[in-house]
A and B are shown apart, each in its own frame.
Chain A
Amino acid sequence: MQAEFRAPRRRTRVQEEYEAPLPVSLRPEERSLFRAELINQHVLVRDLEQIQKIHNQGFFGKGVLSRARPDHSISDQWEEHEGLFLPLVSQARYEELLRWAGATLSAQGLDEEAVNQTLLQLSQPIGTEDLRGEGQMMNGQEGPGPEDGASPCTERAWPEGGASPCTERAGPEGGASPCTERANPNPDSDSFSDSDSEPGPGPGSGSGSLVPGPGFVLVVSDSEAAVQIREVRRTPLSLSEYLQLSLEEAFFLVYGLGCLSVHMHQEPLSIVQLWRKFRSLHPDFVSSYAAYHHFRSRGWVPKEGGGAKYGVNLMLYRKGPPFYHASYSVVIERADDAFEGSALHPFSWRSLAALSRITANVSKELMLCYVVYPTDQSEAELDSPECLSRLKVQEVIVGRWVSSRERAEQDDI
Chain B
Amino acid sequence: MAWLVVRLAISVSLFYTASAVFEDQVGKFDWRQQFIGKVRFALFDTHSQASKKLLVATDKNVFASLNSRTGDLFWRHVDKTGPEGHIDALLMYGQDAVVVAGNGRLLRSWETTVGGLKWETVLDTGSFQAAALVGVQDFVKYVAVLKKSAISLHDLSSGSQIWVENLPDSDTVQYQTIYSGGNGLVFVFGVVPNSHIVIVEYKIEDGEIMNKKSVEAAWMSSLESSCTVISSGILLCVDQITQSLYTLLLQSAEQTEMRQIHLQTLDLEVASGFQPVLTSTQPNPAQPPLSEFFLQLSPDHHILLQLKDGLIVPLRDFNPSYLAAFATSGERTVAAVMSPKNDTACSINLFSADTGRRHLDTTIIYHMDPNGGKPNRLYVHAFLKKDDSVGYRVMVQTEDLTLTFLQQPGRVVWMREEALADVVTMEMIDLPFTGTQAELEGEFGKKADGLLPMVLKRLSSQFILLQAWLAHLWKLFYDARKPRSSVKNEVNIDTLSRDEFNLQKMMVMVTASGKLFGIDSKSGTILWKQYLENIEPNSVFKLIVQRTTAHFPHPPQCTLLIKNKDTGLGNLYVFNPIFGKKSQISVPALPRPVLQTLLLPVIDQDYAKVLLLIDDQYKVTTFPSTKNILQQLQDTASSIFFYLVDSSQGKLSGFRLRKDLSTELIWEVVIPTEVQKIVAVKGKRANEHVHSQGRVMGDRSVLYKYLNPNLLAVITESTDTHHERSFVGIFLIDGVTGRIVHEAVQRKAKGPVHFVHSENWVVYVYWNSKFRRNEFSVLELFEGAELYNSTVFSSLDRPHPPQVLQQSYIFPAPISTLEATLTEKGITSRHLLVGLPSGNILSLPKMFLDPRRPEVVSEQSREENLIPYAPEMPIRDEWFINYNQTVSRVRGIHTAPSGLESTCLVVAYGLDIYQTRVFPSKQFDVLKDDYDYVLISSVLFGLFFATMISKRLAEVKLLNRAWR
Is A bound to B? no
